[in-house]
């Protein structure tokens, strides 16, 4: 899942007026992992506080600010948030409209559902998902068993297509078993520094290692040695977190690693 954040977001007059914490909350509401393309979704206040590290009192104040500028509203009673223009910018195409109609039916009794429907009346006419009318907003629609089966099949097909695209992408990558082992070895070093580091897509890492070998003429030993040096360096360990970064910074890292060794020797001799 990904969200689009246009560069014009930062030059919007209302956004520019926001405080640092206000901008953080605004971006979070668009990009957090609980968000929905429709912009209206369930989000407990405790989750916001935990994930943004903002104080509960700060969040409460910011809701008034964001609501006043028509950016987002929050239903504290039902823990529902609505980012007003999110569907307009994030949801393009019939699939997203169908998804929005289903999402609307899952949010029980929130007053924001009716406000959403007034802003996006087209969602109410969707029949390839849940049939919605203004009376049923905020309540689960009655769906026949056949409709449920059709919806499940659609979801399964979408998941299969996504999986096939990912598998196809992996098949197009070219690397050998040794590259894959090096990728896993690199990740283990990173995990020693940060145990919570997210596991990468190993085929992508392995392919970057292959490019270093075949295009840049680096040996496997050189790749491992330089990555190990970067991983042990106080500054570079937080910057070289994948083979692509290692490849990009190769020359600079090589100079730095050799400079440390030679520099120490020169200084030692100078004091003798």
Does 267 reside within a domain? no
226 vs 251: CA distance, rounded Å: 10
| Residue with the larger pLDDT of the pair 63 and 265 | 63
Residue scoring higher pLDDT (213 or 174): 213
* Interatomic CA distance for residues 181 and 219, integer angstroms: 14
Total count of domains within the chain: 2
Domain boundary among 85, 114, 140: 140
End-to-end CA distance of the chain: 60
Of 269 and 181, the structure prediction assigns the larger pLDDT to 181
Flag whether pLDDT at 9 surpasses 60. yes
In this structure, what are the phi and psi dihedrals at residue 80, rounded to the nearest 5 degrees?
-115, 135
Q: pLDDT band for position 97 (50/70/90)?
A: confident
* Residue 130 pLDDT: 41
pLDDT at residue 149, as a whole number: 56
Residues 19 and 107 grouped into a single domain: yes
Q: Supply the pLDDT for residue 46.
A: 94
Same domain, 19 and 129: yes
Mean pLDDT across the stretch 215-226? 94
Give 127's pLDDT tier (boundaries 50, 70, 90). Answer: very low
Lowest mean pLDDT among 137-151, 229-243, 256-270: 137-151
Q: What pLDDT score does 3 carry?
A: 76
**Is 27 inside any structural domain?**
yes
Report the candidate in 169, 258, 173, 187 with the shortest Cα–Cα distance to residue 222.
258
Looking at the chain, the whole-number percentage of residues with pLDDT higher than 90 is 50
Model pLDDT, residue 240: 93
Higher pLDDT, 2 or 105: 105
- Asked, for residue 190, whether it belongs to a domain, the answer is yes
Of 103, 106, 108, 102, which Cα lies nearest the Cα of 128? 102
Domain check: are 26 and 118 in the same one?
yes
Average pLDDT, the chain: 81
**Within a domain: 67:** yes
Q: What is the pLDDT of residues 59-68, one digit of tens each?
A: 999 999 999 9
Residues in the chain: 272
- The pLDDT tens digits for 132-183 are 444 344 444 444 455 555 555 666 666 666 655 555 554 456 788 999 999 9
Contact 118, 40 (CB under 8 A): no
Q: Which carries the bigger pLDDT value, residue 139 or residue 20? A: 20
- Is the model's pLDDT at 89 over the cut of 70? yes
Q: Is residue 169 part of a domain?
A: no
**Same structural domain, 128 and 207:** no
Which CATH number fits the domain that encloses residue 66?
1.10.10
The predicted-structure confidence for 31-47, as pLDDT tens digits, reads as follows 999 999 889 999 999 99
- 36-45, 91-100, 219-228: range with lowest mean pLDDT: 91-100
* Residue 90: pLDDT band with limits 50, 70, 90: confident
CA-CA-CA-CA torsion sign (156, 202, 3, 30): positive
Confirm whether 270 is domain-assigned. no
Whether residues 132 and 199 fall in one domain: no
| 238 and 114 inside one domain | no
Question: What values do phi and psi take at 224, rounded to 5?
Answer: -65, -45
More confident residue, 154 or 28: 28
- Chain centroid offset of residue 4 CA: 10
Assess whether 89 and 196 both reside in one domain: no
* 171: in domain: no
Domain boundary among 140, 162, 195: 140
Q: For residue 226, tell me if it sits in a domain.
A: yes
Provide the residue range defining the domain that includes 15: 7-140
Residues 114 and 25 in one domain: yes
Domain end (from 140, 169, 203): 140
């Amino acid at each position: 899942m990904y969200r689009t954040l246009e560069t014009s977001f930062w030059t919007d007059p209302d956004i520019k007026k926001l405080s640092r914490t206000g901008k953080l909350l605004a971006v979070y509401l668009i990009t957090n992992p609980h968000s929905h393309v429709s912009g209206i979704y369930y989000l407990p206040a405790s989750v916001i506080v935990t994930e943004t590290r903002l104080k509960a009192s700060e969040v409460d104040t910011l809701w008034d600010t964001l609501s006043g500028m028509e950016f987002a509203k929050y239903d504290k009673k039902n823990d529902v948030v609505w980012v007003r223009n999110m569907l307009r910018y994030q949801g393009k195409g019939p699939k997203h409209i169908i998804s929005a109609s289903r999402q609307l039916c899952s949010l029980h009794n929130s007053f924001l559902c009716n406000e959403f429907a007034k802003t996006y009346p087209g969602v109410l006419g969707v029949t390839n998902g849940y049939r919605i009318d203004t009376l049923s907003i905020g309540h689960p629609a009655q769906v026949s068993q056949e409709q449920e089966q059709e919806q499940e099949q659609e979801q399964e097909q979408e998941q299969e297509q996504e999986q096939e695209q990912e598998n196809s992408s992996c098949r197009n990558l070219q690397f050998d078993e040794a590259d894959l082992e090096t990728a896993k070895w690199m990740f283990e070093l990173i995990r020693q520094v940060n145990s919570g580091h997210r596991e990468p897509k190993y085929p992508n890492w392995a392919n970057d290692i292959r490019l270093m070998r075949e295009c840049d003429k680096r040996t496997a030993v050189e790749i491992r040695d330089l990555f190990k040096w970067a991983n042990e360096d106080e500054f570079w360990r937080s910057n070289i977190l994948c083979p692509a970064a290692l490849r990009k910074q190769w020359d600079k890292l090589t100079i730095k690693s050799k400079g440390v060794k030679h520099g120490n020797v020169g200084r030692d001799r100078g004091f003798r």
